[in-house]
Structures are given as C-alpha cells and as structure tokens.
Amino acid sequence: YFSWEVLRFLLSNLRMWIEDYRFDGFRFDGVTSMLYHHHGIGTGFSGDYNEYFGLHVDEDALCYLMLANHMINSLHPECITIAEDVSGMPALCRPVAEGGGGFDYRLAMAIPDKWIQIIKELKDEDWNMGNIVHTLTNRRYEEKYIAYAESHDQALVGDKTLAFRLMDAEMYTNMSVLVPLTPVIDRGIQLHKMIRLITHALGGESYLNFMGNEFGHPEWLDFPRIGNNESYHYARRQFNLTEDDLLRYKFLNAFDRDMNRLEERFGWLASPQAYVSEKHEANKVIAFERAGLVFIFNFHPYQSYVDYRVVIFKYKILLDSDAGEYGGHQRLDHNTEYFSEEYPHNYRPNSLMV
C-alpha cells in the first residue's frame, strides 16, 4: 500500500534525477513483481487476459506506475521510460490517456534468453527457425519493444557474453588475422553477426547494445565485491581490441557500425512489424520484409545455396554478413541487380531466384 507521503517521495525522486542530474529516462526494474500481489513468482504467463486482470493485480502499484509515467511525460516529454516486465501485461506501454500504463517501451527479455538457450542446448543442425521467429515477433501489437541480443546479466559475475559463449578460449589465441581462421572462430564470427542483425531487424521497435560488449572485452565482467576479495582484475573493458587492425574484433565492430547506419537510412525500427515470408526448417532459412527491405538469413551449418527462390520484387545487396570487411567469405556478387518474375511463392505473387 502506498501512502500519499510515500507517493510524493517516489515521484519527487524521479523529478530530481531528471531536473538536477539531467537524466533522459528510466528503466523500471522488476515491474512484474510490482504489478501482481503474487509478484510473478511461480506463474507462467500464457497471454490469457485472466492472468492480467483480477484481484491478483496490485492496483496501488499499477496506479503509481501510471502516475509516474504521466508526470514524466507531462513535465519532460523528451524523457523515455522502459518497463522490465516479463508477464506481458496488456497496454502497459500505451499512453495513460488510453487507459494504459504509460511506459514508452518494454524490454524484449525473452530474446537474449532464447539465444543463450539455443547456443547452450542445441546442435547447429537442430536450430528451430519457427521458434526463433516466434520469439523475435511475439509482442503486444502497437506496444514498442526494445530488442537486444544479449543481456548485461550475461556478461556479469561468471556468465558469458555471446561471443565468449560461441568462441570461448579461442578468443585468446585465434582472433589474430595472422593465424589461420579456425572453424570455431569462423562459426562464432558469422553467427554473432547474424544473431545481432536478425534481432535488430525483427525483434522490436528499438535496439539495445550494452556499452563495450565483447568488442570491449572478450570475457565476463566482474566488479569488486566481497566474493572476489574486492578485486579490480575483471572490472575493465579493453576498448582497444576493435582498434587493433591485426585482430578480428574489427570485423564485428565494422558490421555493427554498418548495420546501424543501414537502419538510420531505412528506419526499420520505426516501421510496422515485419512480414515473415519463410521459416524453412530443413533449409534453415528465414526470410522477411520490413521497411522496403528484404532480409534473408541462412542458418544452415554447412549448406550454401545457389538459385534460391525468395519473395521479392527488385533486389540489390545492401548489407552482407559474408562480405570480406566483416570477416566473411565473399561468396556473393554485390554488383548484380536482380529482378523478380511473376512466379507465386510463399503466398506472394512475385518472387526471385538468388
């Protein structure tokens, strides 16, 4: 229960951080535990509306969140608020005027969990394309989500970044361009680029990258604490790694740069959710359209394709994870323009062989 004094204190806290410290927004942690009297403990949210509306909802907490968002939006509309909610409460990220919770975004928390689960538990040939697409597109209609390929929690206190989980110890010995490209590093670099791009393009209405990530350090990050005798040994980021022309981190960094530049040019994050035309389990191919672009991903561990039919009208390569500047194998010709034919494919009237 919130007394009026507590409510005023909490709201004034938010205003102080904005006006005195120039914060440009807030991520509200653990919103799920606030929204329900059961705090989300032992509850699997399937999406049924009975799970979100009833006496188990903490109306005082929900009212506070609506007030907080309304106040921030009214006084400082330039500030954004983000909900860390795993339950999927409907309208949490719609305006208070519509009866919503008033948040601008919610974190798509299932996405980084899904990538870690896939990499830890499945062989490459067992990746499920439909399950990947479902995880990346399973979000409330007209509520904005922040997609991210890996969580900061994965790079803290003993867990691993995506790159370290993919390549592990070889990152210390085989990331130099002066040594032969090993299967582990090759697989890790190629999957890393594809995971980030498909998350960026399909997973939400904004994209989050934690500062430095594995471009700033290959390993997990650990802050000084009692458990490590207050050690600073792992409390650092090596931002020089991407600037070393002899290391393959530069390829990952270059791909991230160009991925973001391409989004700035075409604005897929601000576009309607993608139309997925293909999720082929045997071929391990995912294809979708968004913002006038066609994205095609081949997740097959060893099979490349020649003359592959996709739904498309006119096609020129804009970003290719297989390009040489991104540590790829340069198997595609970037100078070719492709035109579609009236050949129905995947419920579309026109298609193209690539």
Residue-wise pLDDT for 293-320, tens only, equals: 999 999 999 999 887 777 666 678 999 9
Write down the mean pLDDT value for the chain. Answer: 91
Burial of residue 91, with CB atoms counted within 10 A of its CB: 0-12 exposed, 13-18 middle, 19 or more buried = middle
What average pLDDT score do residues 56-60 get? 94
Q: Grade residue 151 by pLDDT with cuts at 50, 70 and 90.
A: confident
Question: According to the model, what pLDDT value does residue 87 have?
Answer: 93
pLDDT at 326: 97
pLDDT at residue 109, rounded to an integer: 92
Q: What is the pLDDT, as a whole number, of residue 211?
A: 74
For the chain, the structural domain boundaries read 4-107, 109-353
In this predicted structure, what is the pLDDT of residue 311? 64
Tokens of residue 181, six digits: 């490209």
pLDDT band, very low/low/confident/very high, at 337 (cuts 50, 70, 90): confident
Q: Mean pLDDT highest for which of 45-49, 164-168, 194-198, 331-335?
A: 194-198
User: Average of pLDDT values for 182-196?
Assistant: 97
Q: Which of 311, 282, 281 is nearest to 296 (CA)?
A: 311
Q: Sorting pLDDT into bands at 50, 70 and 90, what band is 328?
A: very high
Q: What is the pLDDT of residue 61?
A: 94
pLDDT of residue 350: 67
**Main-chain phi, psi angles of 289, to 5 degrees:** -120, 135
Angle subtended at Cα 300 by Cα 208 and Cα 350, rounded to the nearest 5 degrees: 85
Average pLDDT over residues 263-269: 98
Rounded distance, CA 240 to CA 237, Å?
Answer: 9
Selecting among 84, 113, 159, 170, the annotated active-site residue is 84
Asked whether 262 and 319 are in contact (CB, 8 A), the reply is yes
What is the predicted pLDDT for the residue at 222?
Answer: 77
Question: DSSP letter string over 62-131?
Answer: HHHHHHHHHHHHHH-TT-EEEE--SS--TTTTS-GGGTS---SEEE-THHHHHHHHHHHH--GGG--HHH
Q: Residue 180: its pLDDT value, please? A: 96
Percent of the chain exceeding pLDDT 90 equals: 72
For residues 6 and 2, give the distance between their C-alpha atoms in angstroms, rounded to a whole number.
6
Q: Out of 33-47, 232-246, 315-329, which region has the weakest mean confidence (pLDDT)?
A: 232-246
Q: 130: number of CA atoms within 13 Å, CB side?
A: 3
| pTM of the full structure | 0.91
Q: With cut-offs at 50, 70 and 90, classify the pLDDT of residue 2.
A: low
**Local confidence band at 216 (pLDDT 50, 70, 90 cut-offs):** confident
Mean pLDDT confidence for 317-328: 95
Q: How confident is the model at residue 32 (pLDDT cuts 50, 70, 90)?
A: very high
Using DSSP's 3-state secondary structure scheme, residue 172 falls into helix
pLDDT at residue 339, rounded to an integer: 66
Q: Name the least confident of 40-49, 125-134, 237-246, 341-350.
A: 341-350
The single residue of 19, 24, 29, 59 carrying the catalytic annotation is 29
Concerning whether 84 is annotated as a catalytic residue, the answer is: yes
Give pLDDT tens digits for 67-78: 999 999 999 999
- Determine the CATH number of domain 109-353: 3.20.20.80
Structure tokens at 191: 């999957």
Pairwise pLDDT comparison (258 vs 209), residue with the higher score: 258
Task: Output the pLDDT for position 315.
Answer: 76
Question: Mean pLDDT throughout 121-140?
Answer: 96
What is the average per-residue pLDDT within 275-296? Answer: 94
